[in-house]
Structure 1
Amino acid sequence: MASENLMVVLDGATARTGTGCAHGIAWYVAKLGSALAGLAADRDSELVDALTNGIRFTANQHRDTCDLSHPGTPSAATAMLRLKDTALEYLALGDVTMLIDTVDGIRVITDDRVDRTARAEREEADRHPFGSAEKQAALLRMKHAELAARNQPGGFWVAAADVSAAQQALVGKVPLDSVRRVAVLTDGAARLVALFGVLDWPGVLDVLDQHGPTELIRRVRAIEAADPSCTKWARNKRSDDATAVYAAWQ
């Protein structure tokens, strides 16, 4: 979701287990995204407060029908960029990446805490070709290990049903007059750098500037399609949801 002064990007977490929710991940993301777009549009609010209230609002939409204490309750990585007065404010929670290109260089804001959890289970899953029974079993073990660390001290944090997660977001601001261009990438779009290594962050910005998000995602899909067994580039999904949002200042 984007407007003149605000970007909101959400990436729903893959459900490999039960969730205790009758609605599903897409419903959760739509509700949270709509709430955040409205709450963060109030530039007198803080982004952390907008996220706190957005999580609370969304939880209240299904508190009476779903088990929000379920370990797999729907969740989403969240990114927000907002123009406020003379600053560009940012918030990241979950495995999203923000690129802020300034006159002093590119600032990369990446919440990679999820990648530091369930490492043994992740390495085991990487050993097996995609689609094999061994891979599926290992991915399930990995998911359980991740869920045990989700929104826990020493683990990783995402928007789910617990409003306290908002306090763990990466937040900051950059003087607006120093900003030249910005991008927000979900982990599926950031694969070109973080997993495949075929571009660096300046290269990502250049592709977005010259060809737009469609071309960036086309390149992701081409590499994924060339490695359907996920053996050249070990990964948990053959093709991951990918979103890229880009803006430039003239």
Structure 2
Amino acid sequence: MLIQLATKPGSVNADNEDCAACNPRAMVVLDGLTARTDTGCAHGVAWFAERLATSILDHSHLDPTEALRAGILHTAGLHARSCDLTNPATPCAAVGIVKIDGDRLRYLALGDVTIVIDSGTNQLAISDLRVNKTALAERAEADALPADSSDKAAALIKMKRAEIAARNTPGGYWIAAADPSAADEAITGEMPLFAVRRVAVLTDGAARAVDPFSLYSWRGALDVLTNDGPRELISQVRAAEESDPLGKLWPRNKISDDATVIFLDRT
């Protein structure tokens, strides 16, 4: 069994708000949600994502839902006295967890991290895309503006405020922040380990290789990971981003996004 990991920030001028961690029994990938408004936290999204990923992995002997719950509780405790965790924009992250538990593979997705499981004949892609159903008007307005528009930044802030209003609320979307009950809203599942050939966990910045860039199908993306590794897949995503510097071909909030992949190959 081979496990490979790669991560690359979207910009050399900003922290990488993705974080990944793994051990022989578990893989954890987090995608911190960029803060465009005040968060009430002195530490920042990258700090939060790193500590939450570490804590989830520390609890990887538990079921993925319980590991996430414990990780959220622990991380909240690290800055509850210094930061306002009741702020609706408190640092948060999308989460993907894969655990090998005896003869079973268990998975959890909360937010738009994507888990791809390959049986050899079929590929199952799991991602929680409820956030895409929020702030629809504001998202369309921001997407319609090219990256060099003077109105782009204001449109993105407007979109973020509308998203925050729907965050961790019934009918909205759920994300790992300061409330451990969000773990109960995750997409979870399991399957026999013998039926699993390859597994990839990707932040949305890396999953751009499939959607929206259409460089590959999921099978094709897994083949790149098998033959050339996660760094190569991320490099190809970067090349596609650079070919569309104003986001006109592929409208997107970030021209270049943080990108992270953990890849497990059992062949």
TM-score tier by shorter-chain length is over 0.9
Listed as ranges, the matches of 1:97-246 within 5 Å are 97-103=114-120, 105-246=122-263
Match of 1:28 in 2: 48
Gaps of 5+ in 2: 1-20
The percent of aligned pairs where both chains have the same amino acid is 51
Instruction: Report how far residue 125 of structure 1 moved.
Output: 0.4
Match of 1:14 in 2: 34
Which letter maps to 1:212?
G
User: 2-side partners of 1:93 and 1:104: how far apart?
Assistant: 26
User: 2-side partners of 1:198 and 1:215: how far apart?
Assistant: 13
Which letter maps to 2:103?
T
Instruction: Report how far residue 103 of structure 1 moved.
Output: 4.5
User: 2-side partners of 1:225 and 1:104: how far apart?
Assistant: 33
User: 2-side partners of 1:244 and 1:53: how far apart?
Assistant: 24
User: 1-side partners of 2:153 and 2:120: how far apart?
Assistant: 46
Instruction: Report how far residue 105 of structure 1 moved.
Output: 1.3
Secondary structure, counterpart of 1:67 in structure 2 = coil
User: 2-side partners of 1:229 and 1:107: how far apart?
Assistant: 32
Which letter maps to 1:29?
A
Which letter maps to 1:32?
L
Q: Does 1:94 align with 2:111?
A: yes
1:74-115 deviation line (CA, Å, top 9, x unaligned): 001111111101101101111111110014511111111111
TM-score if structure 2 supplies the norm length?
A: 0.90
Gaps of 5+ in 1: none
Secondary structure, counterpart of 2:49 in structure 1 = helix
1:144-170 deviation line (CA, Å, top 9, x unaligned): 011011111111111000111000011
1:10-56 deviation line (CA, Å, top 9, x unaligned): 1111011111001111111111111111101x1xx221111111101
Secondary structure, counterpart of 2:131 in structure 1 = helix
Match of 1:38 in 2: 58
Higher mean alpha-carbon deviation, 185-194 vs 101-110, is at 101-110
Q: Does 1:64 align with 2:81?
A: yes
Secondary structure, counterpart of 2:37 in structure 1 = coil
Secondary structure, counterpart of 1:193 in structure 2 = coil
Secondary structure, counterpart of 2:86 in structure 1 = coil
User: 1-side partners of 2:222 and 2:63: how far apart?
Assistant: 28
Instruction: Report how far residue 71 of structure 1 moved.
Output: 1.4
Cα RMSD (Å) of the superposition? Answer: 1.0
Instruction: Report how far residue 131 of structure 1 moved.
Output: 3.3
Instruction: Report how far residue 174 of structure 1 moved.
Output: 1.1
Aligned length: 247
User: 2-side partners of 1:194 and 1:57: how far apart?
Assistant: 34
Match of 1:49 in 2: 66
Distance 1:231-1:162 versus aligned 2 partners, 3 A rule: same
User: 1-side partners of 2:137 and 2:155: how far apart?
Assistant: 10
Which letter maps to 1:85?
G
Correspondence for 1:73 among 63, 86, 90: 90
User: 2-side partners of 1:95 and 1:241: how far apart?
Assistant: 13
Secondary structure, counterpart of 2:249 in structure 1 = coil
